[in-house]
Amino acid sequence: MTESPNLVAFTPERLETVKEIIARYPEGRQKSALLPVLHVAQEQWGWLSSDVMDYVAGILSIEPVEVYEVASFYTMYHLDPVGKHVIEYCRTGPCCLMGGEDVYGHLKQKLGIDAGGTTADGLFTLKEVECLAACGWGPVFQIREQFYMNLTNEKVDQIIEDLSK
């Protein structure tokens, strides 16, 4: 538990969003808001520290462990600090058929990191993910809400250069 929970707080706009989310569910079912609220939290802090998870537990009137067990189950939640851009690279079959492994090798070389790593400048974190439901446009990776599709080594170079500016 955090000793000074006031250090962690949603911005007023995000707090409004969170209240709107909680209001979607029937009375007493506010725990249903947990996944969406954790997405909002991650949007604000980039990752979910135990202080942030405790804060969310307080908002939803649930036990902190109920937040931890959920945050650690679902792969989209980052439980460690991440870089500015988190590249979530699809490693599943259909993307591999389209050359996904070769492009991935190139991407790792370009960034100089392996899966789970963050570049020294803190710009990029690389994560391997499973199928992103975009198999017809593979190879694919995602950065936040943006899908990057039909990837080639050249495209990867361009994307990384654009995001490094």
Report the binding-site residues for [2Fe-2S] cluster: 90, 95, 131, 135
108 binds another protein (CB under 8 A): no
Binding mask 36-75 for another protein (x = CB under 8 A): x-xx--------------------x-x---x--xx--xxx
Task: Compute how many other C-beta atoms are within 10 angstroms of the C-beta atom of residue 7.
Answer: 9
Q: Which residues, including other chains, have CB under 8 Å from residue 104's CB and lie 6 or more apart?
A: 89, 91, 139
Instruction: Please answer whether residues 100 and 139 qualify as being in contact, where contact means their C-beta atoms are separated by less than 8 angstroms.
Output: yes
123 binds another protein (CB under 8 A): no
143 binds another protein (CB under 8 A): no
Q: Round to whole Å and give the CA distance between 122 and 165.
A: 13
Instruction: Please answer whether residues 25 and 32 qualify as being in contact, where contact means their C-beta atoms are separated by less than 8 angstroms.
Output: yes
- Smallest gap from residue 77 Cβ to another protein (A): 6
Nearer to another protein, 50 or 147 (CB): 147
Size of the site for another protein (CB under 8 A): 45
- Smallest gap from residue 91 Cβ to another protein (A): 8
In the three-class reduction of DSSP (H, G, I as helix; E, B as strand; rest coil), residue 34 is classed as helix
- Cα 11 vs. chain centroid, distance in angstroms? 19
Instruction: Please answer whether residues 85 and 123 qualify as being in contact, where contact means their C-beta atoms are separated by less than 8 angstroms.
Output: yes
142 binds another protein (CB under 8 A): yes
- Per the listing, tokens 């190139």 go with 106
Instruction: Please answer whether residues 163 and 141 qualify as being in contact, where contact means their C-beta atoms are separated by less than 8 angstroms.
Output: no
Nearer to another protein, 145 or 162 (CB): 145
- Smallest gap from residue 75 Cβ to another protein (A): 4
Contact residues: another protein, CB under 8 A: 24-26, 29, 31-36, 38-39, 60, 62, 66, 69-70, 73-77, 88, 91-94, 96-98, 129-138, 142, 144-147
